[in-house]
Amino acid sequence: MDYQQIIERLKLIRMRNHLSAKDLGKLLGNSYTYFYKVEDGSIILSMPKLLEVLQLLGVTTEEFFYDDFENYKIDKEILEISKSLTKPEIDTMYHLLRKRNTNKK
C-alpha cells in the first residue's frame, strides 16, 4: 500500500464515520484545515499521527492495512467461526470451497 492509498482509505473511513475533514482536524487538536491538507498531500502524516487518526475513527491497524478492507469484518468472523469447527466439518467446508473454486475457472 502506498501513501496515496493510505490517504484514500482514510478518507473513505472518515466519510463512513460521517466526519468532515474539518471535524477530524478539530478532533485531532489541529486547525480545521489540517485534514484537508493531509488529504490533498500538503501535509504528510507521521506514523504516530496515523495511529491516532485510526484510533479516533475506531479502526484497528490490522483492519486498516488488510488487503480486502471492505470484507475485513466478514473474513475475520469466518476465521473465528472456523476455529470452532470439528475436523469433519472443516474437511467438508474445504471440499465445498475447492469445488466451487474449480467450477469458477
pTM of the model: 0.75
Average pLDDT over residues 49-61: 95
Contacts of 7 (CB under 8 A, 6+ apart): 38, 39, 41, 45
Q: How far apart are CA 100 and CA 49, in angstroms?
A: 43
Average pLDDT over residues 46-52: 95
DSSP percent split of the chain into helix, strand, coil, nearest 5? 70, 0, 30
* Residue percentage of the chain with pLDDT more than 70: 98
User: What are the cell numbers at 12?
Assistant: 473513505
* Residue percentage of the chain with pLDDT more than 90: 75
pLDDT at 24 over 80: yes
CB 43 within 8 A of CB 37: yes
